Every structure is written in structure tokens, then in C-alpha cells.
Structure 1
Amino acid sequence: MRFSAAFAVLVGLSLAVSGCDKQSAEGAQGAGNGTAANNAAAPDEVTADEVTSDEAPSTGKAGETFKHVVDRSHKGESMPDKGFMTLDGKPVTLKAIANGKPILVNLWATWCAPCVAELPALDKVAAAGAAKGIAVIAVSQDQEKSVVQPFWSAHKLMTLKTWLDPDNALGFHYGTGTLPTTILYDAQGKEVVRIVGAMEWGGAEGQALLREIGG
């Protein structure tokens, strides 16, 4: 499956993060397609000096060690009105889902091992957030829509729900070439912080970040 040409690998950031490079995943979903993505830079990409340096290792259930970068360079920006869809193909926006609540938005993909390792912790965050009025959603960046529902059903996540973004509308907006990327918004729909790479949300740092939006 081809990857949208405007996605760029944020080289300096990606070196600091143990996440999935979207462009390198072209082969994972696009074997035999024959369509190559180019390396045009996304217009709103983050440079290394715009990102805070609070990197921290995080260990997933599979024993893998992940790193993440906490990026506050977009603090105060409004959530995008980009459209994506429910699993049954209905159009939706972040504003409609948030409905005036704080929201955690996780961009993930079935082919991204750190993304998958992070999902159980996000499922717990979703359960806790429901009681505190915080929406927690996962938005698949898979361009093959048909793979997402079977994958999600097989993992039996109790509370966390996923949406589909096969055109990578949100990925374009955030200018990220690394998955997972998670963005936290306050109740006014303003970005508080974003995390590039996987982290353990049940740990002290993850809990502190959630408290910034009322978690």
C-alpha cells in the first residue's frame, strides 16, 4: 500500500524515539504495489530544538524498551477539524468526539509494534478517563481499512475504541513521521502536550501528563 507522499521522517526526532517510521512501513503494507513514496517534508514538521528533551525509557509488556519525546512546542494550538471515520465508515471529527471534554488522541497502526504494546495501557487510561470525563481514542493510520477491525477484535480491548484515518488526515496535520504519536487536549480543545513514541501510561510520568488535562 502506498504511503502519502507528503509524510516526512522527522530525522532528528525519530533518532531520539523508539517508534515506527511511517515511510519505512511502506513495505509492510505495500509489498508488490510498486508505488514509491517520496521524501517531501511536511509543512509543519517539528525540528529537534523545538522539542523538550524529557526522554524516558518505557518497557512494554513484550519486554521491549521504548523511548518517547514530550513535545510542548504546539501548546495552545486548536484541535484540527480534519475528518476521519468510524469503523463502519461514518465521518467524524475530533471536536465531535470530544464534545467539550478533554481528549487524548493516539495515532497508531497495526504494523507498529510499539503502538500495539502501548494499547493495553491506553485501554486502562480510557476506563479511568470515562469516570473523569476525559475521552480517550485511538485513530488507526492503516491505509488498508480492512485489517483494523479483525485486529482490534482479536486484542479484546475493553474500553478503548478505534477510528479509521486511511487518508492520514491527522498524520498530515500533526506532521509526524513516527508512530505512535499521542496528543492531549484540554476541555477548550487546545493542545496541552504531545508524546512522540510509546510510553507506559500507568507510570509516574504518564499519570502526571494525564493530570494536565484532568486525568
Structure 2
Amino acid sequence: MKQFFVAMLALLMSSANAFPGASSDPALERFIHLSRPQALETVQILGPDGASFDLSQFRGQPVMLNLWATWCPPCIRELPSLERFRQDFEAKGLQVAPISIDRDISVVQPFLAELGITDMETWFDTSNQIGKILPTDLIPATFILDSEGNLVGFVRSFIDWDNPAVRKTMEQYLPQ
């Protein structure tokens, strides 16, 4: 199943610009919007409090999963704009869930504090559980799930979440 999904992602990513109306904005060219929601199995990660957290607990509202790590330069560059995006879009009904893939969760909060990001709740995937249902070979990576927990879009690269075109694109995932 995972190999099929990875092959599908590779095919979609290689032909993203072949679709009529593809954006010329480089930030938007990396977004893949699925034509049909893709059902995902659920996996266990750690919640912001360090307790076990099942991804199905996000159901009921759309969620944006953003995989990152303290040792990833593009992730570090992305985090401040992700935090500003989170503040704005959670008020509109989109749950933003940054998920650190660092193996040692004790390094994450001091690292975020060093960046001046003190209000961002972070989930943790120390054993690549998300890798069982989504490709995790490239970070930062953002996966957008609808309110039923289905994958509806993704971007596997650095994104400037302050970019007005990116924000406008993300509005399509807000609850109606």
C-alpha cells in the first residue's frame, strides 16, 4: 500500500505543471491538490503533552500536518512563517499540527524557544509512525487532511506560509 502511494505521489508531482491553470508562482507549483480524497489508516504519535495520540483524534475538522526537525535547515527557515500561519488559520477552523520527527523530544521546546516560537504546540513522531501511511523521506513536508481524515493535498518542500498566494490556496481547505 505504501509503495503504491509513494508511486502515485511521484507521478502526481512529476506532472503537476501539466494541468491547465497550473500556477506560475514557484511556491504554488509545489502544491499537489488531489482530485479525490485518499483514505489513510491512522497511526499513533505523541501529543504536545508527550502522551500517545492517535491521528484519528483530528477528525471533525480539517488538519494540516507539517513534518519538521530541529536538524533540518529548510524546516528551521519555515517555522516562523508556519507559526504566523497557524495563528491566523486556526482561528478560521484549520488545525495546524507541526510534527517534530526528532528522536529526542527534549530538544524540541528549547530549540523553538531559541527561535522565539513559544506558543506553538508540537506533536512528535520519534519512530516514523507517519511513514507507515505517508512518505517521510523529505522534510519539511505538509499533508492536508479533510475533516474525515482523508488526504486531500500536500507539499513536500519549504513553503513561505506568509506568501499571500499560499494563504489564498490554503483557504480552499477551510471548513465551509
Alignment TM-score, normalising by the size of structure 2: 0.80
* Equivalent in the alignment of 1:134: 94
Pairwise CA distance, 1:158: 4.8
Q: Does 1:101 align with 2:64?
A: no
Shift in alpha-carbon separation, 1:174–1:56, aligned structure 2, 3 A:
farther
Tell me which amino acid in the other structure corresponds to 2:10.
A
Per-residue CA distance 1:65-88 (angstroms, 9 max, x = gap):
xx9722345841134410000244
Q: Which structure has greater helix proportion?
A: 2
Per-residue CA distance 1:48-76 (angstroms, 9 max, x = gap):
33222368545xxxxxxxx9722345841
* Equivalent in the alignment of 2:10: 48
Q: Does 1:157 align with 2:94?
A: no
Paired residue secondary structure (2:96): strand
Tell me which amino acid in the other structure corresponds to 2:43.
K
Shift in alpha-carbon separation, 1:57–1:112, aligned structure 2, 3 A:
farther
**Matched length:** 165
Moved more, 137-146 or 71-80: 71-80
Q: Does 1:197 align with 2:162?
A: no
Contact conserved, 2:40 with 2:133, CA < 8 A, in 1? no
d(CA) in 2 for partners of 1:73, 1:126: 22
Q: Does 1:114 align with 2:86?
A: no
| Unmatched runs of 5 consecutive residues or more in structure 1 | 1-41, 59-66
d(CA) in 1 for partners of 2:120, 2:169: 18
Contact conserved, 2:112 with 2:118, CA < 8 A, in 1? no
Tell me how large the CA RMSD over aligned residues is. 2.5
Q: Does 1:211 align with 2:176?
A: no
Contact conserved, 1:68 with 1:198, CA < 8 A, in 2? no
Paired residue secondary structure (1:132): coil
Shift in alpha-carbon separation, 1:131–1:161, aligned structure 2, 3 A:
same
* Equivalent in the alignment of 1:174: 134
Contact conserved, 1:102 with 1:214, CA < 8 A, in 2? yes
Deviant stretches of 4+, over 6 Å: none
Q: Percent identity?
A: 27
Paired residue secondary structure (1:179): coil
Contact conserved, 1:143 with 1:167, CA < 8 A, in 2? yes
| Unmatched runs of 5 consecutive residues or more in structure 2 | none
d(CA) in 2 for partners of 1:172, 1:209: 28
Tell me which amino acid in the other structure corresponds to 1:182.
T
